[in-house]
Amino acid sequence: MYLSTILGVLCLITATRGLLWPKPQSYISSETFYRLDPDNFQITLSEQASKCETLTAAVQRYRQLMFASDCSLLEANKERSPPRGSLNNYPKYAGELSELTIGTGPDCPKYPTSNMSEIYTIRVMYGDRQDAFLFGEEIWGVLRGLETFSQLIHRIDGNFVINSSFIVDYPRFKFRGLMVDTARHFIPINYLLEMLDAMAYNKMNVLHWHIVDDQSFPYVSERFPSMSERGAFTPNLIYSPGDVRKVLEYGRLRGIRVLAEFDSPGHTLAWGKGIDNLLTPCYDKYFGSPTGTYGPIDPSKNETYDFLRNFFEEIVEVFPDDFIHLGGDEVDFSCWQSNPVINAFMKQIGIPGEYNLLEGFYMQKLVDIVSSLQKRYIVWQEVFDNGVHLRKDAVVHVWKHYSGFDYLLETAKITGSGYPTIISAPWYLNYISYGSDWKKYYAVELLAFNGTQAQMDLVLGGSACMWGEYVDATNFISRTWARASAVAERLWSADSVTNPLDAERRIDNHRCRMISRGIRAEPIVGPGYCDCDYAV
């Protein structure tokens, strides 16, 4: 249970087990309960599904999660914590559920894609069918359905139980992301894997990995090893090729895309430590001599674009996702302004003094390189605002949020120009405040702008952001969860699912569920407890 202040009145609310997060599109259940015996319960894959290694791994993983509500994942050798709830509130058991059968389509793709299908159906002892069945149109829907089925199971008086249920579910938005920043502070691999677990528990499907920035370059490039050797915080704080493969594989098995971001031409000071003559030398405006400091990537040299082609050829090989995030935000023009070579170049190409057009010149070269490598790309909104000619299948990422709902005006402008978009502006989780700030994230409606249906269809979804200036391994998980759960439901569930009072009970229940699974999620609704608090 937890205490919550509602309209100034201190109320006692009892948290209930078996509540679903995010809320399914269609969910019918009855008060008929069935026992599950962990020793006898079977998960059976159809002949076609049993050939898919992603699904066999998922079944093994979820068998453990389904019966872990006694904190056994956290403390296998400690006495079980006393369960909450009582059978006095429920009718007698109708029997025992001994098997879940899983079916899916004929294909078993290795990696999730931007167009994957995540629709699934669950039937548990419903109607005249006395069995349990999960079907996903693709294997990714089966993964989402296994998560939902695991949430339906809960403990009452020491018994694992499940309701008679019928669920048809699918996401409202196809892009449901979480951006993590591993450049401002290094985040160890095991914490990235824990983040991927938490994302799977919330049906998020894109890990946006902002892997490098001004402060450090921890990515180990096999073509340009000097970039991490000189650009990482220390030689040990790096992501080796093996580390990257581990993150990609862990995400793949959970139906989570890993979207790599290599932001340029700004945010690249750490790049320049490993690649000579890549960055722009800054000049003293009074004496006209170099200051010894550097600014954005130098867009005036052919060698710059030779390097970029070579580097992104490697990135395309390493990261299998449909997209690369190319950044393009927050370019500080002052260094370009101070440099006489840059200004002479701008005069030569007919854009003297137009530094936003110089950024556009650079980004045009970069997007053309990436397009030639048969990769789609995402850019921050400044690239669109500066008039770069983008492919119509390019995606523009909206992040600026000065006041009110100005990001919706930007979204209307981008979609009105025919470009798909994703939105992060209202979901910067690195900003914190006292109290239940998840409610402001939960209140966001991405389609609340004036536009046609065609424009609405171009909103692919959104991404919560956890920037790393004040985040490292000590608070990386706890600051993100369960606040990111509010974003997850907003991106998955129907647009009619907006009631914060209903959500409060379920998100608190889900936070306790995540703790029982080993996710160090911080309190989200006020005073209270979870059964596994003592074991984290």
Mind telling me the catalytic residues?
330
Task: Determine the residue type at 498.
Answer: T
Q: What is the 3-state secondary structure (H, E, C) of 412-471?
A: HHHHHCCCCEEECCCCECCCCCCCCCHHHHHCCCCCCCCCCHHHHHCEEEEEEEECCCCC
In eight-state DSSP terms, residue 100 is: E
Q: Taking the C-alpha atoms of 479, 482, 483 and 489 in order, what is their torsion angle to the nearest 10 degrees?
A: 150
In eight-state DSSP terms, residue 386 is: T
Residue 359 to residue 338: CA distance in whole angstroms: 15
Q: Taking the C-alpha atoms of 15, 19, 21 and 24 in order, what is their torsion angle to the nearest 10 degrees?
A: -150
Chain center to CA of 187: 16
Backbone angles phi, psi at 38, to 5 degrees: -55, -30
Judge if the upstream peptide bond of residue 482 is cis by omega within 30 degrees of 0: yes
Tokens of 218: 């921890």
Residue 472 to residue 186: CA distance in whole angstroms: 7
The CB density around residue 256, as the number of other CB atoms within 10 Å, is 27
Tokens of 331: 């370019």
Contact 54, 108 (CB under 8 A): yes
